[in-house]
Amino acid sequence: MRLDRLRIQGLRCLHEVDLALAPGINVFIGANGAGKTSVLEAVFLLSHARSFRSGAREALLARSASRLSVFAELRQANDRLLRLGLGREGARWEARIEGEGASLGQLIAECAVTCFEPGSHALIAGAAEERRRFLDWGVFHVEHGFLDIWRRYQRALKQRNSLLRAGMEQGSPLYGPWETELSALAGWIDSQRRNYLERLRPSLHACVAALLPELGAPELRYRRGWADDRDLHEQLEAQRGRDLGRGHTSLGAHRADWSLAFEHAPQREHLSRGQEKLAALGCMLAQARLYADHHGDWPVICLDDLASELDEAHQASVIAQLTESGAQVLVTGTCLPEPLRGLPHRMFHVEQGQLTPLL
Ligand SMILES: Nc1ncnc2c1ncn2[C@@H]1O[C@H](COP(=O)(O)OP(=O)(O)OP(=O)(O)O)[C@@H](O)[C@H]1O
């Protein structure tokens, strides 16, 4: 899929931006703080309804604006053109598809964006939440019902946590229904996640090994969030006493995690920061490739500050993979990354939130 047109209003320093994008490579060049990453942030919002940057959602809204919005004309496989919009006024997101109100789930089902940025190494070295998000984004695009089940799971979890925080005694019958619900939903979530990881495994091996051949074969490991030998319902009941002390539910699908280990770097601590980044990028490219296999359409690929994240050989390897795939690519930098010289691309100069196409 590709963005033919992108309009951004009231996002950080981007007050009013309207761009016609090239189907292939688009490069955004400008000084620090010019607004390059914010363009990628806008694109990412359409497919995740959140930013890839940490920090409060309120910070996305330009200081002088009361509303932020992102609008895109998205061309999908088979040349279908979709008009998508996402706006935020106050604390609420509002999605639109073809001018009609839509749920966030409907919006993100239509638009797929993968973004590699300076914080991406967190996928390898950061908290488990980052990896669960990655995994669940992939699962959602194979099985859209996932979002609904995940929300129901979160509601049941909240209820059990409220009982724990209220100090409800271990033997209370109030726990039972929530534990039954959690256990049934977690079982479904776990099986979807396993299926997805099994499908991801071959492209993950190929993409990660292509970027990090020196580390040998990668191995994908998954933990579902509760012990393998008994069902969750039983474990939750047995765990009530300890959970009461902690004030939250310590077992379940919200505790799942996955990791990558390498033949020549069996522990995460064996990876350099650059290798963490490359491993994260490999995972993202693998996910994008699996998406393309499933939907017949590559996600839009964003590469923030590519030249300062990767050495030139790795930049060239990524660009070669993406050029071959035919994916639309949005790259930012303070200058044109060396491997892009000589390749067809559209370039935009970014300065104080203003974008100018360069010929
Ligand atoms: N809520 C906001 N309202 C107005 N301006 C903001 C807001 N949040 C951030 N900014 C400004 O918007 C700009 C955003 O910069 P962005 O991170 O997109 O720049 P960049 O070109 O990617 O920079 P770098 O090369 O340093 O990474 C910065 O100048 C920042 O100070």
Instruction: Give percent above pLDDT 70 in the chain.
Output: 100
The number of the ligand 1 atom at minimal distance from the alpha carbon of 334 is 25
| pLDDT of res. 266 | 83
User: Taking 80 as the threshold, does the pLDDT of residue 278 lie above it?
Assistant: yes
pLDDT at 219: 93
Q: So what's the pLDDT on residue 241?
A: 96
Residue 57: CB within 6 Å of ligand 1?
no
* Short-list 214, 219, 313, CA closest to 272: 214
pLDDT at 187 over 90: yes
**Does residue 213 form part of some domain?**
yes
- Total domains present in the chain: 1
175 in a domain, yes or no?
Answer: yes
Quote the pLDDT of residue 270: 82
In the predicted structure, residue 201 carries a pLDDT above the cut 70: yes
Contact 3, 43 (CB under 8 A): yes
What pLDDT is recorded for position 54?
Answer: 81
Report how far ligand 1's centroid is from the alpha carbon of 141 (Å).
31
- How many whole angstroms from its chain centre is CA 228? 28
- Residues 6 or more apart whose CB falls under 8 angstroms from that of 57 comprise 50, 51, 88, 91
pLDDT tens sequence across 137-179: 999 999 999 999 999 999 999 999 999 999 999 999 999 999 9
The reply to whether 55 falls in a domain is: no
Q: Give me the pLDDT at residue 91, please.
A: 84
Domain-located, residue 174: yes
Closest CA to 49 of 121, 133, 125: 133
- Domain that residue 140 falls in: 123-296
290 pLDDT more than 80: yes
Domain annotation covers residue 141: yes
At residue 337, φ and ψ (nearest 5 deg) are -60, 135
Distance CA 290, CA 207 (A): 11
Q: If you measure from the C-alpha of residue 146 to the centroid of ligand 1, how many angstroms do you get, rounded to a whole number?
A: 34
In the chain, the N- to C-terminal Cα span, in Å, equals: 24
Ligand 1 atom with minimal separation from the 28 CA: 21
Instruction: For ligand 1, atom 12, name the residue with the nearest CA.
Output: 13
Q: What is the mean pLDDT of residues 195-210?
A: 94
What b/e readout covers 44-62, taking b as 16+ CB neighbours within 10 angstroms?
bbbbbbebbbeeeeeebbb
CB of 64 sitting under 6 A from ligand 1:
no
To the nearest whole percent, how much of the chain has pLDDT over 90?
Answer: 91
- Is the pLDDT score of 7 beyond 70? yes
Residue 78 lies in a domain: no
Beta bridge partners of 40: none
Lowest-pLDDT range of 111-115, 128-132, 265-269, 324-328: 265-269
pLDDT digits (tens, 9 = 90+) for 65-119: 999 999 999 999 888 999 999 999 888 899 999 999 999 999 999 999 999 999 9
Cα distances (Å, whole numbers) of residue 133 to 49, 98, 188, 219, 359: 13, 28, 17, 20, 38
Instruction: pLDDT band for 267, please (50, 70, 90 cuts).
Output: confident
pLDDT (0 to 100) of residue 56: 72
According to the model, what pLDDT value does residue 84 have?
97
Centroid of ligand 1 to alpha carbon of 20 (angstroms): 22
CB distance 30 to ligand 1 below 6 Å: yes
How high does pLDDT run on average in the chain? 94
Q: CB of 13 closer than 6 A to ligand 1?
A: yes
Give yes or no for residue 193 CB within 6 A of ligand 1: no
Q: Is position 34 within any domain?
A: no
Binding positions for ATP are 30-37
Cα(200)–Cα(207) distance, integer angstroms: 11
Q: How is residue 175 written in tokens?
A: 């726990």
User: 292-321, pLDDT tens digit by residue?
Assistant: 999 999 999 999 999 988 999 999 999 999
Residue 359, pLDDT > 70, answer no
Quote the pLDDT of residue 81.
95
DSSP string across 208-272:
HHHH-GGG--EEEEEE-SS-TTS-HHHHHHHHHHHHHHHTS--SSGGG-EEEEEETTB-SGGGS-
Those residues whose C-beta lies under 8 Å from the C-beta of residue 328, and which sit 6 or more positions away, are 1, 2, 3, 21, 22, 23, 24, 26, 298, 300, 301
Domain presence at residue 214 = yes
**29 pLDDT above the threshold of 90:** yes
- Ligand 1 atom with the shortest distance to the CA of 58: 1
Contacting residues for 251 by C-beta, under 8 A, at least 6 apart: 225, 226, 227, 232, 235, 236, 239
CATH code for the domain of 180: 1.20.1050.90
CB atoms within 10 A of CB 187: 15
Rounded Cα distance, 198 and 193, in Å: 9
- What is the pLDDT, as a whole number, of residue 286? 96
